[in-house]
Amino acid sequence: MFAAPKGTKDVLPPEAWRWQWLTRLAMDTFALAGFAPVVTPDFEHTELFERSVGSESEVVTKQMYTFADRGGRSLTLRPEGTAPVMRAILERGLERGALPVKLAYCQAMFRYERPQKGRTRQHLQLGAEGIGSENPLLDAEIIELSTRFLTTAGLKPVLLLNSIGHEDPSCRQGYIKVLSGFLHEHSAELASADRARIDTNPLRTFDSKEERTLAVMRDAPLLSDHICAACREHFDAVRGALEDLEVSFEIEPRLVRGLDYYSRTTFEYQVTGLGAQSAVGGGGRYDGLSEALGGPRLPGIGFGLGVERILLALESVGTFADEPASAVHVYVVALGERAQRAALKLTTDLRRRGIGADFDVMGRSMKGQMKDASRSGARWAVILGEQEMATGTATVKDLESSEQTALPLDEVPGAVQA
Ligand code: HAM
């Protein structure tokens, strides 16, 4: 017998109904804001992620599923969705059409991580990207959209917000020098893994899980005190627009996020009840990403939300905003060969009219079929027996009230509409 690979799992009903409900809600909510769906390949050239997510990032150095295909190419299972979307836009020249390009996705991501609650090696991510504008109103639009979706789904996450400035000596590059200086001064107090990163990726020390490093970081100089005037002005405009929209947020000057393409606005949604994996989603601007991939200047912002974590968080809250129910509305019960053929015909007729219907193919007894009808979640049972076949009628039973009536067969669809 085989088991699913470590860190992966099957999603079976009834849980799978929740997945479907959540992903539909997301894609419908995003579509109402003008985000069209996009599907990119599940694997890309490895270099795409090295150049965007960053060759020093945790994702690239430790978590990628990278393999050589039979043609000797180095390919990687998509660990995140933003770089592939940008690659697709640049490859197809969408940036020469109407801007911003607004795209949304619901795709699997693959990261080789130590599995634990809310952390798997394959996860499903809901994301949206708005590309082609630096306007802080786009930031507010995107952040309001992800917040509204999470709220509609039934969560009350805390929205953490920060600006990490932009790649420039007058801004983040200048700050990184200040931060490296501070870390070198305190290097003896840092955990060894964090000490090793001082010159390659000092910002990551804010995300360290080591208590001794975090104690040092409490006194570290903050990026928000060092960003340039233009970035500060941009951030003030984002905050003002979010206040206009009554989206509440907390400024978190230590929020750095794990992917190197971010610039300016960054944000994350935190929930309680998930243990260590408290982020249900996050996002930010990536104004330099297109250029890092060899494209023109094409600033953008987006977010990614983890389906598994959202559902875990909803379970811990104990309620689903809109509990998905079975789609089967009518169950046709039939006894005898003739009645069974008629049952398939009636079931099909109902389905063609858009009414969810099912029938028995297991040769169950009448009692067994009635049991299966209630298991299916149907509101109505339509009974076709010998007597009904002889008279061209059916017995329609309301499974909620147990009331039943005999009707001519052609009146059945009308009777079970409700
Ligand atoms: P991220 O923060 O790496 O961002 O991932 C987004 C979300 O995906 C996380 O908050 C979490 O809910 C979920 N997630 C990530 N890794 C795992 C895992 N191993 N198991 C379960 N869930 C996980 C990004 O990936 C960016 N591309 C988001 C973005 C879009 N930024 C701009 N546009």
pLDDT in tens, 115-148: 999 999 999 999 999 999 999 999 999 999 999 9
Substitution candidate for ligand 1 out of 109, 277, 308 with most atoms within 8 A of CB:
109
Tokens representing 173? 């590059």
Going by alpha carbons, the residue nearest to atom 5 of ligand 1 is 304
The CA distances from residue 282 to 173, 258, 401, in Å, are: 23, 10, 47
**251-255, 265-269, 386-390: least confident range:** 386-390
Category of 275 on φ-ψ map: left (φ > 0), alpha (ψ -120 to 50) or beta: left
Substitution candidate for ligand 1 out of 113, 123, 280, 301 with most atoms within 8 A of CB:
123
* The predicted structure's pLDDT at residue 177: 93
* The predicted structure's pLDDT at residue 323: 56
CA of 132 to the centre of ligand 1 (A): 22
Say which residues have a Cβ less than 8 Å from residue 220's Cβ, sequence separation at least 6: 179, 182, 183, 205, 206
* The predicted structure's pLDDT at residue 157: 96
- In Å, the largest CA–CA distance within the chain is 94
Cis peptide before 100 (omega within 30 of 0): yes
CA of 247 to the centre of ligand 1 (A): 21
Question: pLDDT-based confidence at 326, cuts 50/70/90?
Answer: confident
* The predicted structure's pLDDT at residue 317: 82
Q: Whole-model pTM above 0.85? A: yes
The CA distances from residue 263 to 259, 283, 289, 357, in Å, are: 10, 10, 9, 52
The CA distances from residue 55 to 66, 126, 183, in Å, are: 14, 24, 21
The type of residue at 277 is Q
Q: Please determine, for residue 207, whether its predicted confidence score (pLDDT) is greater than 80.
A: yes
In sequence order, what are the beta bridge partners of 162? 266
Tell which residue, 146, 125, 117, has the closest CA to residue 316.
117
- Are residues 110 and 78 in contact, defined by beta-carbon separation less than 8 angstroms? yes
* The predicted structure's pLDDT at residue 324: 59
Report the share of the chain in percent with pLDDT over 90: 88
Residues with CB under 6 A from ligand 1: 80-82, 111, 113, 118-120, 123, 125, 127, 129, 258-259, 279-284, 302-306, 308-309
Q: What is the mean pLDDT of residues 178-198?
A: 93
Q: Please determine, for residue 249, whether its predicted confidence score (pLDDT) is greater than 70.
A: yes
CA of 87 to the centre of ligand 1 (A): 18
* The predicted structure's pLDDT at residue 180: 95
3-state secondary structure of 213: helix
pLDDT digits (tens, 9 = 90+) for 18-45: 999 999 999 999 999 999 999 999 999 9
CA of 189 to the centre of ligand 1 (A): 30
pLDDT digits (tens, 9 = 90+) for 59-114: 999 999 999 999 999 999 999 999 999 999 999 999 999 999 999 999 999 999 99
Pairing of strands 263-270, 300-306: unpaired
CA 50 to chain CA centroid, nearest Å? 23
Q: Please determine, for residue 321, whether its predicted confidence score (pLDDT) is greater than 60.
A: no
- The phi and psi torsions of 14 (rounded to 5 degrees) equal -85, -15
Please give the mean pLDDT across all residues of the chain.
Answer: 95
Q: Please determine, for residue 319, whether its predicted confidence score (pLDDT) is greater than 60.
A: yes
* The predicted structure's pLDDT at residue 216: 94
Q: Please determine, for residue 373, whether its predicted confidence score (pLDDT) is greater than 60.
A: yes
Say which residues have a Cβ less than 8 Å from residue 336's Cβ, sequence separation at least 6: 385, 386, 389
The CA distance from 407 to 387, in Å, is 12
- Are residues 40 and 108 in contact, defined by beta-carbon separation less than 8 angstroms? no
Other CB atoms within a 10 A radius of the CB of residue 313 amount to 26
**Strand ranges in 183-299 using DSSP code E only, listed in sequence order:** 250-251, 263-270, 279-285
- Are residues 396 and 410 in contact, defined by beta-carbon separation less than 8 angstroms? no
Nearest atom, ligand 1, residue 306 CA: 12
Going by alpha carbons, the residue nearest to atom 26 of ligand 1 is 304
